[in-house]
């Protein structure tokens, strides 16, 4: 079977937005929201408090995203919910009124698409919430409710709030706030399929699927793909799976997953012993123990052999998300760790995803701290922002960095170098994660690069001819990109 994935994803740079924390809109359409008592924007986030970010605010920041080089946005859930993260869905057909409702999303899609920016939504289809109408009907009417078979009821009476009594229904990871759907019920399956179709027809460009591995019903995700692709063959389907995902990446289900198998080793190499373990032990996506260049190469080559190349090009690669601590905090505030990780992210096969605020140095520990409000410009790390912009622009400029092959050129101590090649174009990336300068020789005979044409496209490094091809001197805790400039 020939695997087909959305072509645009191979050229995308994603920006992940937690809507309550990115930007408050100034539009007059907010109206009633002007009187809502939100938490202070700059204050530390709480588990249950709202900051008041909305989709109108995102619309007003599209210039910022475009200037960064972003051409795709992934939103954590935006549907009506009684939680700031909105993974407790009340109504799958209504954008939360605190975010601006369906009108705000419609306007956002129009404005984003005018700029060729795609929009991917978060689909929470394993479980709903206590406030979801169908489940609420059961709470009101007990065994007389027509929706009993939509959930996994185990006995009576139900106890949705009293932790001293058995819930008597299945909640995700035992959380009675999140009743699990009965996906074996054909009506439930059809309901979810129709939600996916509805929003695609509304204009969204794909779905990120929350905990899809929890849905065990045979054929469920195969039908989901068929239904989604029938509406839009270029719609992106990306699953939240943290480990080996081969069973979902066979070409009949997802186009990619959130690639934590890239995240962990990249942080372990770039941040090394700087990793603050208390922030990464739960969830553990293996960003420790520290790796040298050879150890990193082994992890990356194993990852690149795990899935078909067509799938590799549509993986969602990331360094942090709403489910992890932020990289700046994981690395103990070491900006060089963030920069080196970002260099590896933006030159790797697949779609890179920047977690909102990481590009300006936003810190944050475990949830809810990782969901801080986007800082005012006075608190931005402008050098780090410039670094992100330059690398994103480089990725957009050189097709080899998007769809070119990936070959490790050198692993020597803490120096790691690889080449991305496509047709007559090759780009070399070298990273020295060590603390002292290093001199290495890069064999470039198998590339189409000539030592006389090669120049530094990004970073600070010295190059000279050598018997092997290129002698490269690179400072400690730094990286560079080499190629033929226009």
Question: Which residue numbers are catalytic?
Answer: 210, 240
Interior/surface letters 370-389, b for 16+ CB within 10 angstroms, e for the rest: bbbbbbeeeebbeebbebbe
Dig out the tokens for 223 from the structure: 């039908």
Dig out the tokens for 410 from the structure: 């050198």
Dig out the tokens for 234 from the structure: 């270029």
Asked whether the beta carbons of 182 and 175 are under 8 A apart, the reply is: no
CA atoms of 184 and 150, how far apart (whole Å): 9
CA atoms of 287 and 263, how far apart (whole Å): 7
- DSSP secondary structure letter of residue 357: T
CA atoms of 450 and 471, how far apart (whole Å): 13
Cβ-Cβ contacts under 8 Å for 378 (sequence gap 6 or more): none
Of the candidates 336, 312, 356, the one whose C-alpha atom is nearest the C-alpha of residue 433 is: 336
Cβ-Cβ contacts under 8 Å for 118 (sequence gap 6 or more): 8, 12, 71, 72, 73, 112, 205, 206, 236
CA atoms of 87 and 371, how far apart (whole Å): 14
CA atoms of 325 and 229, how far apart (whole Å): 34
Q: Where are the alpha helices (DSSP H) in 271-379?
A: 293-304, 309-312, 327-330, 335-345
SS3 content of the chain, % helix, strand, coil (to 5): 35, 20, 45
Asked whether the beta carbons of 200 and 231 are under 8 A apart, the reply is: yes
CA atoms of 128 and 38, how far apart (whole Å): 25
Three-state DSSP class for residue 412: strand
Q: CA-CA distances (angstroms) from residue 478 to 289, 325, 330, 415, 468? A: 21, 23, 19, 10, 23
Cβ-Cβ contacts under 8 Å for 97 (sequence gap 6 or more): 80
CA atoms of 370 and 320, how far apart (whole Å): 9
CA atoms of 169 and 113, how far apart (whole Å): 42
CA atoms of 233 and 221, how far apart (whole Å): 16
Q: Where are the alpha helices (DSSP H) in 115-219?
A: 133-141, 186-202
């Amino acid at each position: 079977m020939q695997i087909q994935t959305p072509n645009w994803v191979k050229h995308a740079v994603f920006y992940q937005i937690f809507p309550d924390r990115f930007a408050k809109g100034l539009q007059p359409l907010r109206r009633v929201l002007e009187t809502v008592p939100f938490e202070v924007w700059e204050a530390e986030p709480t588990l249950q408090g709202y900051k008041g970010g909305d989709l109108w605010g995102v619309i007003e920041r599209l210039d910022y995203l475009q200037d960064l080089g972003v051409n795709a946005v992934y939103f954590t859930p935006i549907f009506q919910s009684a939680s700031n993260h909105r993974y407790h869905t009340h109504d799958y057909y209504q954008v939360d009124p605190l975010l601006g409702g369906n009108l705000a999303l419609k306007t956002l899609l129009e404005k984003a698409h005018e700029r060729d920016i795609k929009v991917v939504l978060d689909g929470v289809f394993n479980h709903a919430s206590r406030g979801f109408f169908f489940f609420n009907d059961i709470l009101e009417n007990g065994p007389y409710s027509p929706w009993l078979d939509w959930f996994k009821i185990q006995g009576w009476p139900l106890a949705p709030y009293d932790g001293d009594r058995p819930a008597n229904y299945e909640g995700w990871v035992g959380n009675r706030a999140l009743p699990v759907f009965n996906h074996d019920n054909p009506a439930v399956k059809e309901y979810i399929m129709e939600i996916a179709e509805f929003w695609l027809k509304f204009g969204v460009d794909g779905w990120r699927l929350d905990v899809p591995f929890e849905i065990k019903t045979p054929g469920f995700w195969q039908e989901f793909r068929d239904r989604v692709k029938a509406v839009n063959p270029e719609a992106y389907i990306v699953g939240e799976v943290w480990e080996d995902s081969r069973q979902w990446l066979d070409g009949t289900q997802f186009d990619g997953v959130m690639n934590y198998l890239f995240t962990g080793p990249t942080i372990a190499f770039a941040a090394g012993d700087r990793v603050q373990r208390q922030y990464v032990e739960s969830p553990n996506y293996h960003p420790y123990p520290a790796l040298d260049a050879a150890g990193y190469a082994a992890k990356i080559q194993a990852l690149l052999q795990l899935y078909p190349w067509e799938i590799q090009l549509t993986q969602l690669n990331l360094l942090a998300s709403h489910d992890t601590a932020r990289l700046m905090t994981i690395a103990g505030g070491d900006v060089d760790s963030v920069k080196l990780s970002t260099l590896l992210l933006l030159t790797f096969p697949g779609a890179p995803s920047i977690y909102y605020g990481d590009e300006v140095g936003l810190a944050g520990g475990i949830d809810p701290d990782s969901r801080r409000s986007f800082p005012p410009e006075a608190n931005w790390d402008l050098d780090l922002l410039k670094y992100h912009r330059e690398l994103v622009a480089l990725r957009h400029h050189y097709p080899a960095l998007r769809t070119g092959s990936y070959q490790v050129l050198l692993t020597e101590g803490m120096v790691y170098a690889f080449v991305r090649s496509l047709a007559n174009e090759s780009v070399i990336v070298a990273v020295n994660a060590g603390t002292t300068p290093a001199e290495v020789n890069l064999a470039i005979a198998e590339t189409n690069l000539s030592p006389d044409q090669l120049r530094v496209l990004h970073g600070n490094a010295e190059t000279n001819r050598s018997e092997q091809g290129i002698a490269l001197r690179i400072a400690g805790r730094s990286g560079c990109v080499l190629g033929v400039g226009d």
